């Protein structure tokens, strides 16, 4: 199924189950298939689970333009508005966490009752004079260089190493590569800047709904101190859950634990 944005892009989405809506935003350079474990689990436990492919990724339009966070957030708004989603819990993994934060910063929480940031890129990944603890730009330049030189091998190397911390099966790594190669070349390349150089600090301070932050303390992609720890300090009354020894890709490596923790959080609103 698809919704159409104001600039004509077609955004693919899945809509599973029935109940109060949970909307899942995926990471780079993946698509909504990366959420399949959590989507199935939550739909089986009484929630309507909506998961979309970000523009330029998966089955959505590979636009030449709009490969930045404001457009991603506005696309999410189009999805929620078109489906008239209300009382939603927004859950974002990695880059998707930035999408959730920017959506709330730009569109507010009129349709939203909860938020969850999972291994997420906010508040600000890039090292700058006013963000000295961030990740040096050379790290992201290396990803860009690898993407241009041989993006297929770059994705295989990410899956075998930092993304899953060397713990994922060959099947999981293959799924990562397959989803990554389904993203448009330009879209995935420009998204590197979108997730690394976007400052989400003002967006996080705008979040006024209960928020769960989950992050592994062995994350090699979004270091815990840069991501989850810093975000939880900026979001009012955020709850931080640390997965000891966990890598970045906990939607796969810790899928049972993550499903249980998300379900418990979602049920708090419904209690």
Please give the positions annotated as active site. Answer: 94, 219, 248
Give φ, ψ of 139 to 5 degrees.
-65, -45
Strand partners, 51: 14, 24
β-sheet with 239-243: strand ranges across: 2-4, 10-16, 47-52, 20-25, 88-93, 112-118, 211-216, 239-243
DSSP class of residue 30 equals -
d(C-alpha 186, C-alpha 201), whole Å: 27
Report CA-CA distances (Å) from 70 to 3, 12, 96: 18, 18, 12
d(CA 56, CA 186): 8
Spatial distance between the Cα atoms of 96 and 233, rounded to a whole number of angstroms: 19
Cβ atoms < 10 Å from Cβ of 160: 15
């Amino acid at each position: 199924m698809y919704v159409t944005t104001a600039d004509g892009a077609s955004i693919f989405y899945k809509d599973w189950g029935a109940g109060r809506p949970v909307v899942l935003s995926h990471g780079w350079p993946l698509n909504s298939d990366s959420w399949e474990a959590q989507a199935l689990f939550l739909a089986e436990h009484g929630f309507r689970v909506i998961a979309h492919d970000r523009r330029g990724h998966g089955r959505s339009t590979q636009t030449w333009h709009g490969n930045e966070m404001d457009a991603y957030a506005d696309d999410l708004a189009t999805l929620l508005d078109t489906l008239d989603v209300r009382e939603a819990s927004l859950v974002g993994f990695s880059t998707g966490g930035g999408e959730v934060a920017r959506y709330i910063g730009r569109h507010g929480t009129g349709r939203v009752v909860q938020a969850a940031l999972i291994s997420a890129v906010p508040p600000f990944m890039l090292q700058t004079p006013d963000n000295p603890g961030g990740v040096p730009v050379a790290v992201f330049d290396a990803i860009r260089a690898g993407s241009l030189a041989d993006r297929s091998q770059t994705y295989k190397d990410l899956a075998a190493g930092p993304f899953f911390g060397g713990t994922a099966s060959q099947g999981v790594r293959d799924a990562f590569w397959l989803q990554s190669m389904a993203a448009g070349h330009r879209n995935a390349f420009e998204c590197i800047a979108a997730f690394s150089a976007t400052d989400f600090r003002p967006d996080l301070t705008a979040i006024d709904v209960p928020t769960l932050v989950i992050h592994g303390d062995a994350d090699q992609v979004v270091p815990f101190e840069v991501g989850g720890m810093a975000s939880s300090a900026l979001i009012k009354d955020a709850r931080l859950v640390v997965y000891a020894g966990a890598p970045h890709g906990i939607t796969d490596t810790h899928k049972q634990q993550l499903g249980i923790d998300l379900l418990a959080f979602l049920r708090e609103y419904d209690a």
